[in-house]
Amino acid sequence: MVDILHRVGIKSSVDDVYKALSTRDGVAGWWTADTRGESKVGENLKLRFTTGGVDIGGFDIKVLELDPAKRVVWQVADGPEDWVGSRISFDLKQEGEHAIVLFKHQGWKEPSESMHHCSTKWGTFMMSLKSLVETGKGTPSPDDIKIDNWN
């Protein structure tokens, strides 16, 4: 079992970071502009992605935990086969002027090339989250940072 792990520090309160992780409009501001559904425990967020105007699919994400200013946990309900059933979590804590986000995407069956790609891509999305909270503007899809020939 291999995991994708990241750590970013955001000059803000954990409350503001929690808001960006726990609301549909927040997620739309750093991951993908086309975020639909409900960010409520037991409900699904529906993330859709395009590149160059072409639909490249997306994920349905079930919200498992919403613990204000502390923790958000999702489970992938639908999407690419290697994503389905995997868990994505964000743990928050305040360290001085920084809200620290410990990110985990767990449940990958193997360290595939796709997983290498997603690890780098998650890093850029965590930097997008940081930018959104610090400046009011992230780089969600379709304006996300392109890292390779897959996106």
Q: Give the footprint of a second copy on this chain (CB under 8 A).
A: 2-9, 95-98, 100, 102-103, 111, 113, 115-117, 119-120, 123-124, 126-127, 130, 145, 147-150
| Least distance between a second copy and beta carbon 117 (Å) | 4
Least CB distance from residue 6 to a second copy, whole Å? Answer: 4
Number of residues that this document lists for the chain:
151
Nearer to a second copy, 20 or 126 (CB): 126
The CA distances from residue 49 to 52, 56, 57, 100, in Å, are 10, 6, 6, 27
| Nearest distance, CB of residue 151 and a second copy, angstroms | 9
Name 145's Cβ contacts closer than 8 Å, sequence gap at least 6.
124, 127, 128, 139
- Rg, the chain, Cα only: 14
Written as six digits, the tokens of 60 are 């349905």
Instruction: Tell me whether residue 66 or residue 100 sits nearer to a second copy (CB atom).
Output: 100
Of the two residues 39 and 101, which places its CB atom closer to a second copy in the complex? 101
Q: Token pair for residue 85? A: 């059933």
- Residue 98's DSSP bridge partners are 11, 95
**CB 35 to a second copy: min, Å:** 22
